[in-house]
Structure 1
């Protein structure tokens, strides 16, 4: 039997990454995330969230300044 902690799903990882974009996290949530999140999933979710953020900014700028 394995004693590995249960890994969080991708949506939980994405939620943690989006909260980190804002910069507001409770210490307890941070420790829970550190115990359950997969580092590779964090990187993938961070890159995806960053790309979406940049594309939204570019779209807003193109919309405001036609």
Structure 2
């Protein structure tokens, strides 16, 4: 079993996944269980908050 990713490592892996740029080797490591499920949930909530914030900013700038 591979070493678990740190919280920062999880954030980086998820950020690269959002962009669509992941190496096959990294994906294979993640698929083998390198992610801590709690870190993934927290990272997802942070990602959603940032995404909504950027959308609100874009709308605000478009309407002003």
The normalised TM-score by structure 1 is 0.77
Compute the RMSD of aligned alpha carbons: 1.6
Q: Which ranges of structure 1 fall in alignment gaps of 5 or more residues?
A: none
Larger radius of gyration: 1
From the two aligned structures, give the one with the greater helix fraction: 2
Q: Which ranges of structure 2 fall in alignment gaps of 5 or more residues?
A: none
The corresponding residue for 2:11 is: 14
The normalised TM-score by structure 2 is 0.79
Give the ranges of 4+ consecutive aligned residues of structure 1 lying more than 6 Å apart after TM superposition: none
